[in-house]
């Protein structure tokens, strides 16, 4: 491991090499990795490492690649983080506490090139991929702030995770590993706008994670109007890949559907969606769209949301209880935030 390397994101093997490079006994690697993912705020706090080693680590490595710029809190306890990366780029992460679990929503890229018309991240364009260390450090930053490990992690912040495949898989490994954050693989959700080759590849990895797919329309033409990716992969191809994914992993897929008034919330839209998803091991997560500044889409009225939900249920689809929708679109959360 070269000097200047980032500690968050390293595994046992790399740390053993680093300790060898430093002329330290190899058990130091095991001590170090415990500190990295426990985590502490700074190398100076790694109290069972000799002072000399700590000093050398401070000089030659970076522990946390993310630093907290602001933390905003909403009345329900949700916290939204603005994090700065080493090159000055900014990303967002969200902490969502609930009665029986707590979720951290993380970003996988700075910006996103997929250009979905309803999405705040999409409108800023693509800047760069995140490294595995930058992905994992978002969770470490939340732990440092709230004082406990989350039960769930969702890749629903900024960016398209399947576009950043290698770092995505590496970050999942670290979140899940006993030497890492030890978060159950079933408690990890990857959300994609529907990149078919990536879905197929992920299915073959044999991981038990949860796949979420942003559908938002059950008709190719309509979907293309809000999601340019629909011009590259048709719903037919996407559904094929989802059936294969479900068959391989035996895991229920989450279908995300952001309801937009007068656009995708009619009885006919519900019928098409029911038709499209028939026979797929999935449930539908209905999210009233979060209007973005200058955006064209608005939330349907509450009674229309309930009607749409009932149409889906009557059509035989499983619809997630509402309230869980806080999980989706967490990168786009717009609430009443107070700086703390
Ligand atoms: N790029 C991935 C993951 C990040 S977006 C994806 O698209 O799935 C996380 C979720 O938020 C997606 O379901 C996305 O469609 C949804 N989303 C984005 N902007 C939204 C908005 N303004 N209102 C509601 N949901 C939104
Ligand atoms: Fe990118 Fe997802 Fe936003 Fe689409 S919804 S622009 S894929 S982050």
How many domains does the chain divide into? 2
Q: What is the whole-number distance in angstroms between the Cα of residue 161 and the centre of ligand 2?
A: 10
Is residue 44 domain-shared with residue 179, that is, in the same domain?
no
Q: In this predicted model, what pLDDT tens digit does every residue of 268-304 receive, in sequence order?
A: 999 999 999 999 999 999 999 999 888 889 999 999 9
37 in helix, strand or coil?
A: helix
The whole-model pTM stands at 0.95
Confidence of residue 121 (pLDDT cuts 50, 70, 90): very high
CATH number at residue 12: 1.10.150.530
Tell me how far apart the alpha carbons of residues 67 and 141 are, in angstroms, rounded to a whole number: 8
Name which of 94-103, 217-226, 243-252, 322-331 the model is least confident about.
Answer: 322-331
Ligand 1 atom, smallest distance to 288 CA: 24
**Confidence class of residue 197 from pLDDT cuts 50, 70 and 90?**
very high
- Mutation probe of ligand 2 site: the residue of 121, 230, 287 with most atoms within 8 A of C-beta: 121
Q: In terms of domains, do 40 and 131 share one? A: no
Instruction: Classify the C-alpha dihedral 195-198-203-209 as positive or negative.
Output: negative
Return the residue matching tokens 């929708």. 325
Annotation says 119 is catalytic: no
Share of the chain above pLDDT 70, in %: 93
Rounded to whole angstroms, how far apart are CA atoms 119 and 298?
Answer: 12
Active site residue 327: no
**Residue 252's pLDDT band (cuts 50, 70, 90):** very high
187 with 199, same domain? yes
Q: Which helix (H) or strand (E) holds 19?
A: helix 12-21
Q: What pLDDT, in 10s, does the model give residues 56-106?
A: 999 999 999 999 999 999 888 999 999 999 999 999 999 999 999 999 999
Q: Is 242 helix (H, G, I), strand (E, B) or coil?
A: helix
pLDDT tens digits, residue range 146-191? Answer: 999 999 999 999 999 999 999 999 999 999 999 999 999 999 999 9
The boundaries of the domain holding residue 54 are 5-62
Do residues 57 and 92 both lie within one domain? no
Do 40 and 172 fall into the same domain?
Answer: no
Residue 114 and residue 258 in one domain: yes
- Looking at the structure, tell me whether residues 37 and 148 fall in a common domain: no
The pair of three-digit structure tokens given for residue 41, joined into one six-digit string: 């705020």
């Amino acid at each position: 491991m070269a000097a200047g390397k980032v500690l968050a994101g390293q595994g046992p093997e790399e740390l053993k090499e680093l300790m060898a490079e430093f002329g330290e006994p190899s058990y130091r690697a095991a001590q170090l990795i415990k500190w990295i993912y426990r985590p502490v705020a700074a190398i100076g706090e790694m109290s069972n490492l000799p002072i000399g080693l700590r000093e050398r680590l401070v000089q030659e490595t970076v522990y946390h690649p993310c630093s907290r710029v602001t933390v905003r809190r909403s009345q329900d306890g949700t916290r939204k983080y603005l994090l700065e990366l080493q090159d000055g780029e900014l990303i967002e992460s969200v902490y969502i506490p609930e009665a029986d679990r707590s979720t951290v929503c993380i970003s996988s890229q700075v910006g996103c090139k997929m250009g979905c018309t309803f999405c705040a991240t999409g409108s800023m364009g693509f800047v760069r991929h995140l490294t595995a260390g930058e992905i994992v450090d978002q969770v470490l930053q939340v732990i440092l702030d709230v004082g406990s490990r989350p039960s769930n992690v969702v890749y629903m912040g900024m960016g398209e995770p399947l576009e950043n495949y290698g770092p995505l898989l590496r970050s999942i490994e670290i979140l899940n590993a006993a030497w890492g954050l030890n978060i159950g693989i079933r408690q990890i959700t990857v959300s994609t706008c529907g990149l078919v080759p990536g879905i197929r590849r992920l299915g073959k990895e044999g991981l038990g994670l949860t796949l979420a797919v942003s559908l938002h329309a059950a008709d190719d033409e309509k979907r293309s109007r809000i999601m340019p990716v629909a011009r590259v992969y048709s719903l037919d191809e996407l559904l094929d890949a989802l059936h294969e994914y479900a068959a391989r992993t035996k895991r229920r897929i989450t279908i995300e559907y952001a309801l937009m008034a007068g656009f995708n919330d009619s009885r006919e839209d519900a019928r098409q969606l029911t038709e499209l998803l028939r026979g797929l091991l999935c449930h539908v997560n209905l999210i009233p769209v979060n209007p973005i500044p200058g955006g064209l889409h608005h939330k349907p009225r509450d009674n229309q949301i309930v009607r749409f939900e009932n149409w889906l249920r009557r059509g035989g689809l499983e619809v997630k209880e509402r309230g869980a929708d806080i999980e989706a679109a967490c990168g786009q959360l717009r609430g009443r935030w107070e700086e703390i």
